[in-house]
Amino acid sequence: MTKIAVVGTGYVGAVVATSLASIGHQVVGVEIDRARLESLQAGIVPFHEPGLSELVTAQLEKASLSFTDSYETAIGGADVAFLCVGTPPSPDGSPDTTYVENAARSISEWITSPMVVVTKSTVPIGSGRWLNDLIADDRASVVSNPEFLREGTALNDFLHPDRVVLGSNDPGAIATMVEVYRPILEQTFTGGRPDLRPGLVRTNLETAEIVKYAANAFLAMKISFINEVAMIADAVGADVTEVATAIGMDQRIGSSFLGAGIGWGGSCFGKDLAALRATAHRHGVESLITGAVVAVNDHQIDFVAEKVSKHIDLAGAEIALLGLAFKPGTDDLRDAPSLKLARHLLDSGATVTAYDPVVGAVSGMDDLKVAPSWRDAVAGADATVVITEWDEFLSINLAALAESMDGALFVDARNAFDAAAATDAGLSYVGVGRAAPTS
Ligand code: UGA
C-alpha cells in the first residue's frame, strides 16, 4: 500500500484517485473547488462516467479514499502525488500550465518526506524538467505518467490499460511507480489474467511526455484519414465502411479508429494536436500532418451539412439532430461536432431541434431547441441527422420515425444504421462515404 495524493479531482483526477484506492492504495484527493469537493465527499460524481459514482461510494465507505481542500493533510507523509489539474489551451494552442505550477508550489510547501511527483495532466513537452526545478527539493522526483483513458470507459481503461508509460531521470522514482502500478501490471485483481497485463515502458521525461501527444495525434489522424477516404468513396460510389473493414484486417493498420462520420470532437484531440503543433513550431519544425488532420476534421462539418442541403433547402427547413454529446457514454459537449453542425444549419436559416439521452440543455446557443425525446425532436422534421451513435438510437423503430417526420431525409453522420433497413422503413438514407442503396 502506498500513500497517494491526487491533486485536482476533475475528470482524470477523480478516475485516477478512485481507481488507485480500489487496487489497495490509501488515496486522498485534493480539490479546492468547494462545490466539487462537497459533492465528491458525499459520493456524488459531478459528471457522467459509467460506474464511477458506485466505485467512489464503495471506496469512501472502506476509507481507502477521501477528499480534502488541505494540501497539508494530503501531501504531508504521502509517497506519491499525482498532478491531475487542468491545462486549458492558451491562445497560441499551447497548454496553460498555471494550475500545474500552483499545485507544484503547494506540494513544495507541504512536502515532509521523499515523494514522487507524477504528471498525469497532459503537460507541454519539457514540463517535467521545469517542475523538478520549481519544486526544488531533493526529496522530490518528477515522473511523467501519461494518461490514455477515454471518457465513457475510463475505469476500464485505467485498470486494464494497453501500456503504462513511466518517464523520469530518476530510476528510484520509476521503481516507486512500478510498485504503485504493480496490481495493474500483474492484474492481481483479475486473478493475474495474462491477456489483460499491460506493457510497461520505462523511459526519460521528454519521451513519456511526447508519447501522450503522439498517441492522440495518431488516433485523430486515423479518423481524419478515413474521413477523407469517405469523401472519395462518396464521389466514386464506394462504401467506406467496407474499405475500413478491409484495410483494418491488415495488422499493420488495425481496425480501430477507422469509423468515418462527422469527425472527432471532445476535449483532447483538438487541444493535443494544437499543443504538438505549437511545440513543433517553437522548435522550428513544420508539422504538416497535424495541420492536415485538423483541416479534414473541420471540413467534415461542411461535408455533412452538404448532405442535407443537397436534398432540401436549409432556409426554413426543420431539422432534427439525434445526439449532442461528442460521443456516446458521455455528457461532454466540448468541441462537439453536433454544436458546429447545428450552428452551420441555424446560420443557414434552418430550425434545429436536438435530442440527446444525457445532455438536456445547451448553454450559449439559445436558438438550438433541445427536445425531451427523439420522438419530439423528429416530429414534423424535414430531415433527421444522427450525430452521436447512442444505443438508444440504434433501437429506434425507423418506420415510426419515418412516419412522424414530414420529410424522409435521414442523414446517418456516424454510419451507425443499416442502410437497407432504413430504406425499407421509408427513409431516404444518406451515410458518410457509403454508396446509397436508393441512388
Ligand atoms: C481520447 C483518447 O482516445 C484517449 O486514449 C486519451 O486518453 C484521451 O483522448 C485524452 O487525451 O484524455 P476521448 O477524447 O475520451 O479519448 O474519446 P475517443 O474515444 O478517443 O473519441 C474521440 C472522438 O473521435 C469522438 O468524437 C469520437 O466520436 C470520434 N471517433 C472515434 C470517430 O469519429 N471515429 C472513430 O473511429 C473513433
Same domain flag for 252 and 152: no
What is the H or E stretch that residue 12 is in?
A: helix 11-22
Query: 403 Cβ partners below 8 Å, 6+ apart?
Result: 426
- What is residue 69's predicted lDDT score, i.e. its pLDDT? 96
Instruction: Report the number of distinct structural domains present in the chain.
Output: 2
| Ligand 1 binding pocket includes 431 (Cβ within 6 Å) | no
> Which domain-ending residue is among 203, 229, 251?
203
Cα–Cα nearest to 8, from 127, 116, 91, 99: 99
Closest protein CA for atom 17 of ligand 1:
150
Same domain flag for 245 and 155: no
Same domain flag for 195 and 313: no
For a pocket test of ligand 1, which of 148, 268, 298 has the largest count of ligand atoms closer than 8 A to its C-beta? 268
Q: Is residue 212 part of a domain?
A: no
Same domain flag for 33 and 175: yes
* Domain with 416 in it: 240-430
Show contacts of 315-318: CB within 8 Å, 24+ apart: 315/348, 315/349, 315/350, 316/349, 316/350, 316/351, 317/349, 317/350, 317/351, 317/382, 317/383, 318/350, 318/351, 318/353, 318/380, 318/381, 318/382, 318/383, 318/406
Centroid of ligand 1 to alpha carbon of 212 (angstroms): 13
Same domain flag for 252 and 155: no
| Ligand 1 binding pocket includes 387 (Cβ within 6 Å) | no
Give the mean model confidence (pLDDT) for residues 298-319.
97
Same domain flag for 100 and 198: yes
Give the mean model confidence (pLDDT) for residues 58-74.
97
Q: Rounded CA gap, 332 and 347, in Å? A: 23
Per-residue model confidence as pLDDT tens digits over 109-118: 999 999 999 9
| Ligand 1 binding pocket includes 323 (Cβ within 6 Å) | no
Centroid of ligand 1 to alpha carbon of 149 (angstroms): 9
Above 80 in pLDDT, residue 52? yes
- What is residue 122's predicted lDDT score, i.e. its pLDDT? 86
Same domain flag for 191 and 319: no
| Ligand 1 binding pocket includes 259 (Cβ within 6 Å) | yes
Name residue, grid cell 488495425: 254
> Which domain-ending residue is among 153, 179, 203?
203
Same domain flag for 379 and 312: yes
Same domain flag for 271 and 163: no
Mean of the per-residue pLDDT values for the chain?
Answer: 95
Q: Is residue 44 part of a domain?
A: yes
For a pocket test of ligand 1, which of 122, 219, 299 has the largest count of ligand atoms closer than 8 A to its C-beta? 219
Above 50 in pLDDT, residue 438? no
Give the mean model confidence (pLDDT) for residues 280-301.
96
Same domain flag for 267 and 320: yes
Choice between 1 and 284, residue whose per-residue pLDDT is larger = 284
Please spell the DSSP secondary structure of 403-417, one letter per residue. HH-SS-EEEETT--S
Give the mean model confidence (pLDDT) for residues 146-162.
95
Q: Is residue 387 part of a domain?
A: yes
Query: 23 Cβ partners below 8 Å, 6+ apart?
Result: 159, 183, 184, 188, 189
Confidence of residue 136 (pLDDT cuts 50, 70, 90): confident
- What is residue 95's predicted lDDT score, i.e. its pLDDT? 84
Closest protein CA for atom 28 of ligand 1:
327
Confidence of residue 419 (pLDDT cuts 50, 70, 90): very high
Above 60 in pLDDT, residue 146? yes
> Which residues are known catalytic residues?
268
Give the mean model confidence (pLDDT) for residues 26-46.
96
| Ligand 1 binding pocket includes 219 (Cβ within 6 Å) | yes
Name residue, grid cell 505550477: 101
This prediction has a pTM of: 0.93
Q: Is residue 406 part of a domain?
A: yes
Same domain flag for 300 and 191: no
Within 10 A of 435 (CB to CB), how many other CB atoms are there?
15
Above 60 in pLDDT, residue 186? yes
CATH for 137: 3.40.50.720
Amino acid at 269: F
Cα–Cα nearest to 322, from 222, 422, 231, 437: 422
Above 60 in pLDDT, residue 436? no
Closest protein CA for atom 23 of ligand 1:
264
Q: Is residue 130 part of a domain?
A: yes
Residue 216: phi and psi, rounded to 5, are -65, -40
Per-residue model confidence as pLDDT tens digits over 243-286: 999 999 999 999 999 999 999 999 999 999 999 999 999 999 99
Q: Is residue 78 part of a domain?
A: yes
- What is residue 439's predicted lDDT score, i.e. its pLDDT? 41
Per-residue model confidence as pLDDT tens digits over 333-384: 999 999 999 999 999 999 999 999 999 999 999 999 999 999 999 999 999 9
Q: Is residue 296 part of a domain?
A: yes
Same domain flag for 286 and 194: no
Centroid of ligand 1 to alpha carbon of 390 (angstroms): 15
Please report, for residues 27, 43, 184, 357, 417, the alpha-carbon distance to residue 52 in angstroms, rounded to integers and kept in the order given.
Answer: 15, 10, 18, 19, 30
Q: Is residue 222 part of a domain?
A: no
